[in-house]
Copies of this chain bind each other. A is one copy, B any other.
Amino acid sequence: MKLDKLVGERFKERPSDCVIDSHALTVRGGYIKNVANGIYSSFPPLRRITKKIEQIIREEMDAIDGQEVQFPVVMPASLWEESGRYSSIGSELVRFTDRNKAPLVLGMTHEEAAVQLVREYANSYQKYPFMIYQIQTKFRDEGRPRAGLIRVREFTMKDAYSFHTSQEDLEEYYQKCYDAYNRIFARCGIPEVVTVKSDSGMMGGSVSHEYMLLTPVGEDSIAVCSECDFRANIEAATCIVENEADAVLEELTKVHTPDIHTIEDICNFLNSPLEKSCKAVVYQRNADDTYIVAFVRGDLEVNETKLRNTVGCDIHPAEIVDGCGLFAGFIGPYNMDERITVIIDGSLKGATNLSCGANEIDYHYTGLNIERDLGEVTYCDVAAIKNGGICPQCGKHSVNISRGIEVGNIFQLGTKYTKAMDMQYLDSNGKAQYPIMGCYGIGVGRLAASVCEAYHDEYGPIWPMAIAPWQVHLCCMRADNAEAKACADKLYNEMQANGIEVIYDDRSVSAGVMFSDADLIGVPLRVIASPRNLKDGVCEIVSRDKSISMKTPIEDVLSTVKELIAKMMKN
């Protein structure tokens, strides 16, 4: 198509609200338009990209025997009540009523719909295994949408659900899907995506993996071992620390500590390292605002997701009110008010001579010896693994914390949904059984933005050939020059006739405007017809990533471009 008819604006200035490059470039390049907080419309170039991504996903899902279906965006609350998630999921799940006051929800994931669709069909072991998937709009009422298409409220997702009669069969299929996902990301141009063990969160189930594009602007933290193949989201990484035995064990001693409110303050006051303190982090349960105090070693942080999994319900950072039994800045595990749920992290195991709050205003304890003073303690794992920490797999001090964007995830769900929704089949002995499920998701828009995040320069995205909005960007420099125009027009027609996706810029604009627009559109190959080069009978062919720059005789342009496209599709 001709660029002068392409709907969407391109501009130079980085919008002030764009923190990461892919967000800024997709706004500047005329890819997205904000409609509401975390809700976007797509301009044609982005829609062309997402259609290609969707097609790659379809091909790979079909190749592992997936059958495409479609679930509704709007579902009855009753379906989510069956699984228990109508009440267990917080405000991310949009709830509303229709004209007859019937309660409905907007689909943020479709395990319930998947079970509902096949519950009657899959009544015999002979129907298994099977996998169904859809590519459909979802809505998740995120508290903090950010970073353009990276974290939105409305998004297009491929979600797949597999059903099995044994854990072995699920694991075999899970591996197939694991591999298919790697192929999808490679075909979309980001083969460098890595898998990490993940927290299963609200999905339930045990084993799960996330596919991460490692980038400093990612919002997920990933623990990667430099000595072995351990990789996990820190939400799913066990935090292991060692506490050395003290030669002399102090007595538990109450100390007057007016105006000392933080762990840093008390450690400075006592001139002891952070590791010799016991830090309290306070949360409340969403359901009833009751308090939970997590104690970790003073040099560590609580990971909220791990704590949520430990207590088994939704929580939020606490607001400490008068009379609740807690005194902000003076909270400790000894003599704690009995109304409070206490969680002791494993980092405190064997710890001695600690400082901690005394649960009394202006007082701390020193000389806390966890085992001696607290009696029998059940240790949990709620602390976040740190840079340089101990690898839970190889045991070496070799953990590096990286940042990543999650571009996909796969879960072994077990029977959580089939049991809750009473989906059964008869096995070969005629006995009723609950099928075992897996589920597998990829966000299409986030994947597009991630590719942009991975491959761009200051001038615009550098789209891989397989998902680029067009394959060739044809520029006619000096469209007022009859010869240049005739040459470019001819190339345009020839390319179209040969099935090449070409965007043609024949506007009467300066080279600067033409090239900055082309950079923002990010098409991998550029063909330039200019009066100067035509004198030598050539056109310029350059690649957006600058790896190719050649002058090619006009009569060879078409064949050269075809070869380059074929080559770049394989990369």
Contact = CB atoms under 8 A, between A and B. Distances in A.
A8 B73 contact: no
Interface in A434-476: none
A43 B68 CA distance: 8
A39 B74 contact: yes
Nearest to A37: B102
- Greatest chain B CB density within 10 A among A40, A126, A141 is at A141
A6 B131 CA distance: 10
- Can you tell how many copies of this chain the complex includes? 2
Interface in A1-39: 1, 4-9, 30, 33, 35-37, 39
A121 B69 contact: no
Interface string A36-72: 1101111110111011000000000000010111111
A132 interface: yes
A546 B432 CA distance: 43
Contacts of A44: 67-69, 132
A136 interface: yes
Contacts of A35: 71-72, 75-76, 79, 113, 116
Contacts of A67: 1, 5-7, 44
Interface residues of A, number: 64
B130 A5 contact: yes
A306 to B, nearest CB: 24
A96 interface: yes
A175 interface: no
A273 interface: no
Contact of A47 (B6, B68, B91): B68
A66 to B, nearest CB: 10
A75 B35 CA distance: 7
Interface in A283-311: none
B75 A9 contact: no
Nearest to A126: B4
A9 B120 CA distance: 8
A132 B104 CA distance: 31
A211 interface: no
A137 B69 contact: no
Nearest to A2: B65
A437 B72 CA distance: 31
A76 to B, nearest CB: 4
B39 A68 contact: no
Nearest to A134: B47
Given A35-B79, A44-B67, A116-B41, A121 B72 contact: no
Contacts of A567: none
A258 to B, nearest CB: 40
A118 interface: yes
Contacts of A75: 35-36, 39
A72 B39 contact: yes
Nearest to A118: B7
A139 B41 contact: no
Contact of A154 (B1, B39, B72): B72
Interface string A96-121: 10110010101000000100111011
A84 interface: no
A99 B104 contact: no
A153 interface: yes
Contacts of A7: 67, 69, 117-118, 121-122, 130, 132
Nearest to A445: B70
Nearest to A139: B74
- Greatest chain B CB density within 10 A among A46, A92, A98, A127 is at A98
Interface string A374-393: 00000000000000000000
A68 B41 contact: no
A212 B48 CA distance: 32
Nearest to A99: B91
A137 B132 CA distance: 19
Interface in A120-149: 120-122, 126-127, 130, 132, 134, 136-137, 139, 141, 143
Contacts of A102: 36-37
Nearest to A100: B37
B42 A99 contact: no
A94 interface: yes
A119 to B, nearest CB: 9
A509 to B, nearest CB: 12
Interface of A: 1, 4-9, 30, 33, 35-37, 39-44, 46-48, 50-51, 65, 67-76, 79, 91-92, 94, 96, 98-99, 102, 104, 106, 113, 116-118, 120-122, 126-127, 130, 132, 134, 136-137, 139, 141, 143, 153-154, 156
Given A42-B70, A74-B139, 20 more contacts: A5-B65, A5-B130, A6-B67, A7-B117, A7-B121, A7-B122, A9-B120, A9-B121, A35-B72, A36-B104, A37-B102, A39-B75, A41-B70, A41-B116, A47-B68, A70-B156, A94-B96, A98-B153, A136-B137, A137-B137
14 contacts: A5-B65, A6-B67, A7-B117, A35-B75, A36-B75, A36-B76, A41-B71, A43-B117, A47-B70, A70-B156, A73-B73, A74-B154, A91-B99, A96-B96
Q: Which 7 pairs across A and B sit closest by C-beta, in order of nearness?
A: A96-B96, A36-B76, A91-B99, A42-B70, A44-B67, A39-B72, A41-B117
